[in-house]
Structure 1
Amino acid sequence: MTLIVLYFLTLAVFLGLDFLGLSFLVKPVFERDIGTLLLDRFRILPAFAFYAFFIAVLLYFVSWPALKSESDLGRVFLNAALLGAVGYGTYEFTNLATLKDWTARMVVTDIVWGITLSGVSALVGVWGTRIIAQLT
């Protein structure tokens, strides 16, 4: 039960924050640099696949071990931020290396966002799950 709470709490935080971040931080930068390549509406299946998989990986490498070992929340944030840097950095640096109109501004914006989003989501997920576990 704890794993289910952790997964869905982390997912909810990640989705909520990513909606805000994509809308107000990332999208304006990407529209400025590659606006003609962007879809009017995102594709739900690939988005769902990414979110479901990324949260599962975040839990596997960061959140679940943190709950088991009672790691401090600073370590949870740091480990999740590093995983976010790897995930978002792989995407961004690959695009910068291979795509004509990709810009350094896009790379920095998205990597910083991925670091923040991953760190905060894992931190809140672990913190909230600990609180729920104490209440039950």
Structure 2
Amino acid sequence: MTLILLYALTLALFLGLDVLGLTYVVKPIFERDIGDMLLDSPRYGPALIFYAFYVAALLVFVSWPAIQGDWPLGRVFWMAGLIGAMAYGTYEFTNLATLKGWSWRMVLTDLTWGSLLTATSATLGVWLTRVTL
């Protein structure tokens, strides 16, 4: 039951925060640099697959060990931030290396956002799970 609660809370936080970040932080920069490549409306199926898998991996490597080992929240934030930097960095630096129009501004914005989003979602998910149980 704890694992299901942890997953549901972390996923809800991640999705909710990412809607805000994509809308107000990431999208304006991407529109400026690669607007002609963007769809008018995102494909939600692939996005949901990513979110479900990403949060599951975050639980395996950070959140669940944090619950079981009673990690301090600062450690959760740091470790989850590293996972975010690795995941978002892989995407961004690969695109910068291979795609026309990809900019350093896009890399730095999305890398920062993804790292903070991952760290915040995991930390709040762990904290909320602890206070709920």
Where on the TM-score scale, by shorter chain, does this alignment land: which range? over 0.9
Which amino acid is the alignment partner of residue 12 of structure 1?
A: A
> What are the within-5 Å matches in structure 2 for residues 1-136 of structure 1?
1-133=1-133
Counterparts of 1:38 and 1:8, CA distance in 2: 30
Counterparts of 1:11 and 1:100, CA distance in 2: 33
Specify every segment of 5 or more residues in structure 1 that has no aligned partner in the other structure, as ranges: none
Q: Deviations over 1:58-82 (max 9, x none)?
A: 0000000000000000000000000
What is the total number of aligned residue pairs between the two structures?
133
For residue 44 of structure 1, report the CA deviation from its aligned partner.
1.1
For residue 118 of structure 1, report the CA deviation from its aligned partner.
0.2
Specify every segment of 5 or more residues in structure 2 that has no aligned partner in the other structure, as ranges: none
Q: TM-score scaled to structure 2, two decimals?
A: 0.99
SS of 1:76's partner is helix
Counterparts of 1:102 and 1:22, CA distance in 2: 17
For residue 34 of structure 1, report the CA deviation from its aligned partner.
0.2
Counterparts of 2:87 and 2:94, CA distance in 1: 11
The structure 1 segments of at least 4 consecutive aligned residues displaced by more than 2 Å after TM superposition are: none
Counterparts of 2:27 and 2:20, CA distance in 1: 10
Counterparts of 1:19 and 1:124, CA distance in 2: 17
Which amino acid is the alignment partner of residue 3 of structure 2?
A: L
Q: Deviations over 1:69-96 (max 9, x none)?
A: 0000000000000000000000000000
Q: TM-score scaled to structure 1, two decimals?
A: 0.97
Which amino acid is the alignment partner of residue 64 of structure 1?
A: W
Which amino acid is the alignment partner of residue 50 of structure 2?
A: F
Which amino acid is the alignment partner of residue 93 of structure 2?
A: F
Which amino acid is the alignment partner of residue 42 of structure 1?
A: P
Identity %: 63
